[in-house]
C-alpha cells in the first residue's frame, strides 16, 4: 500500500534550536502600522480555521506593540508558510466590544494579537 508523501518535518527543520515564531524573523515586509495607531479589524471570510476572534471583527483598537513576524494561523493551519507578516498586539475598550458594558468601568480593556492583513487604518 502506498501513502501520499508530504514533508511532515519542514517546520521542525526550520525551527529547531531557534524557536517559533523566532524562525520567521526578518521574513515579513515592512510593517504598515506603528504603536499608537488606531485600526479596525476587517471581517474577512475564513475557510474552516481562524484565530481572529469573532468579537474583535469590526471593532476599533489601538496598537500597543509589534510582537513578532509569522505566517497567519489561517494559512499555517494549511501548512502554507509563504506569507509571513507582522503581528500586532491591540488594545480594545470593553465598551467598543460589548453592548451595555457599564459606564463605571469604561477603562476596562481587552488586549489580543492580530496579524496585519486583518487591519485597516481608521
Partner 1 sequence: MSSNDKEHLHPPAPVVDEVSDFEVLEIAVRELAIEKGLFTQEDHNQWTDYMHTLGPAPAARLVAKAWLDPEYKKVCVEDGVKASLDVGIDWVNTMPTKFGTPSDYCNLRVMEDTPTLKHVVVCTLCSCYPRPILGQSPEWYRTPNYRRRIVRWPRQVLAEFGLQLPEDVEIRVVDSNQKSRMIVLPVRPEGTEGWTEDQLAEIVTRDCLIGVAVPKPGVTANGKRPVRPAVNPYKH
Partner 2 sequence: MTDINPDFIELDKQMSDRELDSSPIELLEKIKQEGRVWDELSEEYGVDNPDPPWRISLEATCDGLAGGYWAPFNICLPEEERQPVMADDNKIDSNERRWEEDKLVDQHYADVPFPERQLLALAHTMIRRGMISEDELAKHMKAVDERLHMADGLDD
User: Does the footprint of partner 2 cover residue 34 (CB under 8 A)?
Assistant: no
Inter-residue contact 89 to 61 (CB < 8 Å): no
User: Does the footprint of partner 1 cover residue 51 (CB under 8 A)?
Assistant: yes
> Which x/- pattern over 51-90 shows residues binding partner 2 (rule: CB under 8 A)?
----------------------------xx----------
CA distance 89 to 67: 6
User: Does the footprint of partner 2 cover residue 22 (CB under 8 A)?
Assistant: no
Least Cα distance to 72 among 25, 35, 7, 117 occurs for: 117
Give the CA distances from residue 44 to residues 80, 99, 113, in Å, rounded to whole numbers and listed in that order. 18, 22, 16
CA distance 77 to 71: 10
> Which x/- pattern over 14-43 shows residues binding partner 1 (rule: CB under 8 A)?
-xxxxxxxxx--------------------
- The secondary structure element, H or E, covering residue 110 is strand 109-115
User: Does the footprint of partner 2 cover residue 16 (CB under 8 A)?
Assistant: yes
Q: Which of 6, 48, 82, 105 forms a contact with partner 1 (CB under 8 A)?
A: 105
Question: Rule CB under 8 A: which residues touch partner 2?
Answer: 1, 3, 5-10, 12-13, 16, 79-80
Amino acid at each position: 500500500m502506498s501513502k501520499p508523501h508530504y514533508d511532515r518535518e519542514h517546520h521542525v527543520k526550520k525551527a529547531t534550536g531557534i524557536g517559533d515564531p523566532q524562525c520567521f524573523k526578518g521574513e515579513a515586509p515592512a510593517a504598515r502600522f506603528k504603536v499608537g495607531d488606531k485600526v479596525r479589524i476587517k471581517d474577512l471570510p475564513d475557510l474552516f480555521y481562524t484565530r481572529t476572534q469573532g468579537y474583535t471583527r469590526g471593532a476599533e483598537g489601538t496598537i500597543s506593540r509589534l510582537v513578532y513576524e509569522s505566517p497567519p494561523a489561517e494559512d499555517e493551519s494549511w501548512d502554507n508558510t509563504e506569507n509571513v507578516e507582522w503581528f500586532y498586539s491591540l488594545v480594545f475598550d470593553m465598551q467598543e466590544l460589548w453592548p451595555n458594558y457599564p459606564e463605571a468601568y469604561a477603562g476596562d480593556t481587552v488586549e489580543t494579537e492580530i496579524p496585519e492583513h486583518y487591519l485597516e487604518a481608521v
